[in-house]
């Protein structure tokens, strides 16, 4: 597009984001092939099938947090390094609510509401002032938030392990010789439903359209009457909700609740988000699932890669994507911003 | 009848640079007013001052409501549709979504509105699902106009609509603007480099130079004015 | 460091204060002062990277780890003189920094931050995997430990030497090139500066500094190099220190080093919130506040004050 055909934002208002993620046909082929491979492997080996299911469940968690990161990035151009810690903090809130007598699902929804409010407040208080400053200022603020959140959680609840009731029980289904824990199905279901709801919000509602417009071109969005500030705050709120879902679903898989719960998951979420393309919501989710399954299978079938190497593996993936295809599998914009 | 829009002593700056040094103008309801002048005269800034996308001071009144302290989204909700230079369409969204955004500030069903839009821009109907960025420049300009129309504004601000468009398209665009003005009573304030076209379509005009109004009057008068003819009409 | 900023007066004042401190402070507090010295070195190095060439790294804790483990392993296996191990750490980390700087060339802004973050999280995992050589969870210990006065002396001497080195490097062509890169990469390339060389060099230098800081850090923790000491938090602290310091000011760098070296320890004595658990709250809140109020760090604030005066 020529310069004439691209709008020039008035001075002082930033132009945000780029293309919506779209499935590039070669990627689609890749995914279908991968899915076919997983299916075949699962049919041939019970262990493979179990690892796949578990990988998908864990991957869903990574994808949920990755989606939160992408939402925040698209809306405000900031990578929130504290997204994982916030997710962890909201999980502790759920824990406390349960201690105070709420049922798991009551606490679950109450926590989502609390997360939404928290996300909005943080955007208004912390992000707005630094949004237009240098990247590093924004990064540092979220880093400070990381430390602050950690501090607040350990201050209130201490660092000892806490136990939360599992929302899905310990039931195990046996399907054709394959043992599938209800936990994993539950994790997958909850995350996918949440993601679908958020997607529907963005695609089909006026609010969602306003949010997309505000993220894409804030100046032009304001001209049609979109309250850009509120849209960004709501974006952060939704991201916090997705993070809370990730935290709540991560906890049962680790069996205990403790402050470092989400730290490795944040790294996996980064890798997933980058893999999918930092500006692609669909990519983040697919990236998460792909990463979850890959990690599980590789640790099982490649002897040199033991479980301690999962994080370095995720780092390797992250680096490889950034160096080879910075836009990620689904993204369109270049990683290099000059 | 008091004018729909009145500006008095409006000043605006971009950082340390002052772009408007006290602009005063008025726009009667139901009229088309052109803003002419050389590059850098402050034409675009005047529109931005009205829509609130630049810091400004002075009096800006729309149908009795003061606008000078309001941000762009408030101004939009009060009934001002600003089609900025470069169109301001959302290339990443579909034609349909762009139009939908036009109705963002309005409640109620969009359907009757859209029918009216399609009657002026029939070709948009088939392109609903197309990504706006894949339209040609001229089509995007039409889309921007259509979206502004969906807003059902009291005042339409058009910034350099002819920029980058082929002459036939420009003529078509102005034809539609005039039609909207005559049929729907839409009040238009248009900034244009193409003085000839602008004065043909407009009822009145203002000439800006270096951030001030240097000439104003009914368009016939401006067209006959020697200075205008020499500088902007080329004869 | 701009020559204007580092006046002889400032240097003498700081030097005198540093010389006097060992006589005024208790052994415990001397240890804290040594820690500030350690962070001074690391922050100085990181500032060269982030401040001067604009490359954000949240991974320099990993270089500290590498430096620290170098010292620990050389000492454990070969009983090498500790000061020599620090030189080795410097050299090794310089080379590794250059290596890391190469892929970093293709990343910028948040992408680099992400990649270095992942780097910082991953490197501490490696000792867990190769535990025979790298000590696993328990880590590696040096064959000798050092006293607080020793640490203080070496840390601040190293700081002084490395500060001098930085000053020499930055006032010359290299420094000008660095500044050009930061201000506008496009303009820098246009004026013939070979970006890759300077950006990689900056990575190498900053990594080397971090390596030395890491050596000292291990010595400060009783000679133990453990994965838990070098978690992500350390990299975050370094970045915070560099941001608080701001660019191009001796006082700024001191402030940044003091901020991350002292605040976490001192904040446990803050009433009400202060406690072993509360100190993170204070530190985190302080970080957020400082970044909101002083976006250019202490150096920026000082520059602004000077302009007003």
CA-wise closest residue to A263 among B30, B169, C236? C236
Asked if residue A36 belongs to a domain, the reply is: no
Question: In the predicted model, is pLDDT for residue A214 greater than 80?
Answer: yes
Q: Tell me A133's DSSP state.
A: S
Measured between beta carbons, the chain C residues lying within 8 angstroms of A126 are: 288, 292
Neighbours of chain C (3+ CB pairs under 8 A): A
Residue B32 β-bridge partners: B188
β pairing state of C140-141 and C224-225: antiparallel
- The reported pLDDT for the residue numbered A143 is 85
Asked if residue A5 belongs to a domain, the reply is: no
What is d(CA A229, CA A13) in angstroms, rounded to the nearest whole number? 12
What is d(CA A49, CA A57) in angstroms, rounded to the nearest whole number? 12
Question: In the predicted model, is pLDDT for residue A41 greater than 70?
Answer: yes
- The reported pLDDT for the residue numbered B80 is 94
Q: Give the closest-approach CA distance of B225 to chain A in angstroms.
A: 31
Q: Do B86 and A10 touch (CB under 8 A)?
A: no
- The reported pLDDT for the residue numbered C278 is 66
Query: Tens-digit pLDDT profile for chain B (235 aa)?
Result: 678 999 999 999 988 888 999 999 999 999 999 999 888 888 999 999 999 999 899 999 999 899 989 999 999 999 999 999 888 899 989 999 999 999 898 877 777 888 888 888 888 888 888 899 898 888 899 899 999 998 889 999 999 988 888 888 888 889 999 998 998 889 999 998 888 888 889 999 999 988 899 889 998 888 888 888 777 777 6
- The reported pLDDT for the residue numbered A191 is 93
Using the Cβ of C307 and the Cβ atoms of chain A, whether some distance falls under 8 Å is answered with no
Asked if residue A169 belongs to a domain, the reply is: yes
Q: Which helix (H) or strand (E) holds C40?
A: helix C27-47
- The reported pLDDT for the residue numbered A12 is 36
Measured between beta carbons, the chain A residues lying within 8 angstroms of C108 are: 335-338
Using the Cβ of A206 and the Cβ atoms of chain C, whether some distance falls under 8 Å is answered with no
Q: How many helices (H) and strands (E) does chain C have?
A: 16, 2
Closest residue to B53, CB basis, from A216, A219, A225: A219
* Residue A304 vs residue A248, higher pLDDT: A248
Measured between beta carbons, the chain B residues lying within 8 angstroms of A5 are: 86-87, 137, 140, 164
Across chain C, which has 309 residues, the per-10-residue mean pLDDT values are: 59 81 80 89 90 83 92 86 90 93 83 86 83 78 82 88 85 76 70 77 93 92 84 85 80 87 70 61 83 79 76
> Contact, A191 vs A184, CB < 8 A?
no
In A94-133, the residues whose Cβ lies within 8 Å of chain C are 126, 129-130, 133
- The reported pLDDT for the residue numbered A113 is 97
Print the domain residue range for A133.
15-30+42-324
CA-wise closest residue to B50 among B192, B201, B190, B216? B190
Using the Cβ of A315 and the Cβ atoms of chain C, whether some distance falls under 8 Å is answered with yes
Measured between beta carbons, the chain C residues lying within 8 angstroms of A130 are: 291-292, 295
> Contact, C50 vs C169, CB < 8 A?
no
- The reported pLDDT for the residue numbered A167 is 85
* C74 three-state secondary structure: helix
- The reported pLDDT for the residue numbered C272 is 56
Distances (CA, A) of C210 to C29, C45, C174: 23, 7, 20
Chain pair A-C, CB pairs under 8 angstroms: 157
Can you give the CATH number for the domain in which A109 is found?
1.10.3470
Q: Where are the domains of chain B?
A: 5-88+154-233
In C61-120, the residues whose Cβ lies within 8 Å of chain A are 103, 106-111, 113-115, 117-119
Using the Cβ of C11 and the Cβ atoms of chain A, whether some distance falls under 8 Å is answered with no
Please indicate whether chains A and C are in contact, defined as at least 3 beta carbon pairs under 8 Å.
Answer: yes
Neighbours of chain B (3+ CB pairs under 8 A): A
Q: Tokens 């796949």 label which residue? A: A52
* Residue A99 vs residue C16, higher pLDDT: A99
Distances (CA, A) of C53 to C56, C66, C181, C222: 9, 23, 6, 35
What phi and psi values does residue C108 have, to the nearest 5 degrees? -150, 160
Alpha helices in B103-231 (DSSP H): 111-120, 137-150, 167-184, 195-201, 219-224, 226-228
* Residue A257 vs residue A237, higher pLDDT: A237
Q: Give the closest-approach CA distance of B79 to chain A in angstroms.
A: 9
Q: Which helix (H) or strand (E) holds A16?
A: none
- The reported pLDDT for the residue numbered A83 is 95
Q: Tokens 């407040």 label which residue? A: A121
* B18 three-state secondary structure: strand
Sequence-ordered list of residues with C-beta below 8 angstroms from that of A318, at least 6 positions apart, any chain: A267, A270, A271, A274, A275, C114, C115, C118
Look at the alpha carbons of A211, A213, A216, A221 in this order and tell me if their dihedral is positive or negative: negative
Sequence-ordered list of residues with C-beta below 8 angstroms from that of C78, at least 6 positions apart, any chain: none
Chain B residue with Cα closest to A229:
B73
Q: Which of A17-26, A280-289, C126-135 has the weakest average pLDDT?
A: A17-26
Q: Give the closest-approach CA distance of C74 to chain A in angstroms.
A: 25
| Exposure letters A108-144 (e unless 16+ CB within 10 A, then b) | beebbebbbebbbebbeebbebbbeeebbbbbbbbbb
Chain A residue with Cα closest to C57:
A136
Asked if residue A333 belongs to a domain, the reply is: no
Q: Tell me C25's DSSP state.
A: S
Please indicate whether chains B and A are in contact, defined as at least 3 beta carbon pairs under 8 Å.
Answer: yes
Using the Cβ of C52 and the Cβ atoms of chain A, whether some distance falls under 8 Å is answered with no
Q: Tokens 């995992």 label which residue? A: C125
- Which token pair is C181? 């890169």
Q: Do C114 and A270 touch (CB under 8 A)?
A: yes
What phi and psi values does residue A178 have, to the nearest 5 degrees? -105, 130
Measured between beta carbons, the chain A residues lying within 8 angstroms of B147 are: 224
What is d(CA B210, CA B221) in angstroms, rounded to the nearest whole number? 22
Residue A91 CA to its chain's centroid (Å): 15
Which residues of B touch chain A, with CB atoms under 8 Å apart? 14-15, 48, 51, 53-54, 71-73, 76-77, 81-82, 84-93, 97, 100-102, 104-105, 133, 137, 140, 147, 151, 163-164
Long-range residue pairs from A170-177, CB within 8 A, at least 24 positions apart, any chain: A177/A46
Tally of CB atoms within 10 A around A36: 10
The CATH fold assigned to B5-88+154-233 is Rossmann fold (3.40.50)
ipTM (interface pTM): 0.89
Q: What is the pLDDT of residues B81-124, one digit of tens each?
A: 999 988 889 998 999 999 999 989 887 777 788 888 888 888 88
Alpha helices in C105-194 (DSSP H): 110-122, 126-129, 131-134, 148-171, 173-183, 185-190
* A2 three-state secondary structure: coil
Question: In the predicted model, is pLDDT for residue A226 greater than 90?
Answer: yes
What is d(CA A268, CA A246) in angstroms, rounded to the nearest whole number? 12
> Contact, B67 vs B78, CB < 8 A?
yes
Neighbours of chain A (3+ CB pairs under 8 A): B, C
| Total number of domains in chain A | 1
Q: Which helix (H) or strand (E) holds C149?
A: helix C148-171
Q: What is the pLDDT of residues A159-203, one digit of tens each?
A: 788 888 888 888 888 877 788 888 899 999 999 999 999 999 999
Q: Give the closest-approach CA distance of B178 to chain A in angstroms.
A: 22
């Amino acid at each position: 597009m020529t310069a004439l055909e691209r709008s020039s934002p008035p001075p002082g208002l930033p132009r945000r984001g780029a293309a919506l993620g779209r499935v590039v046909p070669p990627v689609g082929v890749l995914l279908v092939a991968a899915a076919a491979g997983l299916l075949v492997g699962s049919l041939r080996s019970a262990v493979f099938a179990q690892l796949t299911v578990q990988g998908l469940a864990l991957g869903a968690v990574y994808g949920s947090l990755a989606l939160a990161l992408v939402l925040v990035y698209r809306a405000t151009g900031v990578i929130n390094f504290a997204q994982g810690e916030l997710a962890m903090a909201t999980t502790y809130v759920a824990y406390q609510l349960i201690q105070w007598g709420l049922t798991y699902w009551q606490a679950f929804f109450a926590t989502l509401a609390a997360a939404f409010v928290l996300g909005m407040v943080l955007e208004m208080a912390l992000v707005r002032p630094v949004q237009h400053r240098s990247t590093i200022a924004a990064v540092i603020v979220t880093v400070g938030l990381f430390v602050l959140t950690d501090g607040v959680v350990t201050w209130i609840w201490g660092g000892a392990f806490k136990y939360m009731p599992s929302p899905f029980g310990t039931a195990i289904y046996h399907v054709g010789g394959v043992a599938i824990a209800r936990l994993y199905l539950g994790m997958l279901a909850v995350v996918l439903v949440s993601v679908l709801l958020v997607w529907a919000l963005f695609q089909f509602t006026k609010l969602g359209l306003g949010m997309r417009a505000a993220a894409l071109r804030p100046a032009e969005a304001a001209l049609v009457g979109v309250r850009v500030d509120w849209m960004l705050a709501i974006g952060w709120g939704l991201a916090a909700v997705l993070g809370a879902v990730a935290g709540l679903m991560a906890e049962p898989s680790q069996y205990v609740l403790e402050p470092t719960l989400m730290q490795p998951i944040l790294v996996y979420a980064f890798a997933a988000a980058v893999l999918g393309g930092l500006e692609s919501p669909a990519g983040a989710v697919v990236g998460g699932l792909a990463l979850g399954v890959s990690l599980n299978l590789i640790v099982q079938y490649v002897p040199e890669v033991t479980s301690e190497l999962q994080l370095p593996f995720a780092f390797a993936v992250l680096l490889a994507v950034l160096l080879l295809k910075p836009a990620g599998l689904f993204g369109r914009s270049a990683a290099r911003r000059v | 009848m008091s004018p729909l829009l009145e500006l008095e002593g409006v000043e605006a700056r971009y950082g340390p640079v002052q772009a408007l040094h006290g602009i005063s103008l008025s726009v009667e309801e139901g009229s088309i007013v052109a803003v002419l002048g050389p590059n850098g005269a402050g034409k675009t800034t005047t529109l931005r001052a009205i829509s609130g996308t630049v810091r400004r001071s002075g009096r800006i009144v729309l149908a009795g409501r003061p606008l000078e302290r309001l941000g762009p989204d408030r101004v939009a909700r009060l009934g001002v549709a600003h089609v900025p230079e470069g169109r301001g369409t959302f290339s990443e969204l579909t034609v349909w979504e762009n139009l939908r955004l036009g109705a963002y500030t309005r409640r109620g069903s969009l359907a009757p509105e859209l029918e009216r839009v399609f009657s002026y821009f029939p070709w948009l109907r088939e392109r609903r699902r197309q990504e706006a960025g894949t339209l040609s420049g001229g089509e995007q300009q039409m889309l921007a106009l259509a979206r502004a129309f969906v807003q059902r504004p009291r005042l339409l601000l058009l910034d350099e609509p002819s920029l980058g468009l082929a002459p036939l398209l420009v003529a078509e665009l102005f034809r539609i603007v005039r039609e909207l003005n005559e049929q729907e009573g839409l009040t238009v304030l248009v900034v244009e480099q193409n003085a000839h076209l602008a004065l043909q379509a407009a009822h009145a005009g203002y000439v800006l130079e270096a951030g001030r109004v240097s000439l104003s009057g009914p368009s016939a008068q401006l067209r006959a004015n020697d200075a205008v003819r020499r500088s902007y009409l080329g004869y | 460091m701009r020559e204007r900023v580092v006046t002889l007066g400032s240097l003498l004042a700081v030097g005198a204060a540093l010389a006097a401190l060992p006589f005024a402070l208790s052994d415990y507090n001397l240890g804290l002062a040594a820690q500030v010295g350690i962070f001074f070195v690391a922050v100085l190095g990181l500032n060269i990277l982030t401040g001067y060439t604009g490359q954000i790294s949240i991974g320099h804790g990993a270089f500290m780890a590498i430096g620290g483990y170098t010292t620990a392993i050389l000492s454990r296996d070969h009983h090498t003189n500790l000061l020599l191990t620090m030189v080795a750490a410097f050299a090794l980390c310089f080379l590794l920094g250059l290596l890391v700087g190469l892929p970093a060339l293709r990343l910028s802004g948040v992408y680099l931050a992400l990649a270095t973050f992942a780097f910082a999280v991953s490197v501490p995992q490696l000792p867990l995997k190769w535990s025979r050589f790298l000590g696993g969870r328990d880590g590696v210990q040096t064959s000798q430990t050092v006293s607080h006065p020793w640490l203080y002396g070496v840390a601040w001497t190293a700081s002084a030497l490395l500060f001098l080195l930085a000053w020499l490097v930055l006032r010359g062509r290299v420094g000008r090139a660095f500044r050009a890169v930061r201000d506008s990469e496009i303009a820098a390339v246009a004026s013939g500066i070979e970006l890759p060389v300077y950006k990689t060099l900056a990575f190498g230098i900053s990594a080397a500094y971090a390596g030395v800081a890491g050596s000292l850090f291990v010595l400060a923790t009783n000679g133990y190099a453990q994965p838990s000491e070098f978690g992500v938090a350390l990299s975050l602290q370094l970045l915070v220190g560099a941001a608080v310091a701001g660019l191009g000011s001796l006082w700024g760098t001191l402030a940044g080093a003091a901020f991350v070296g002292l605040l976490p320890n001192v904040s446990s004595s803050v009433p009400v919130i202060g406690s072993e658990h509360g100190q993170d709250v204070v530190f985190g809140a302080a970080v957020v506040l400082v970044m909101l109020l002083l976006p250019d760090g202490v150096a920026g604030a000082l520059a602004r004050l000077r302009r007003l005066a």
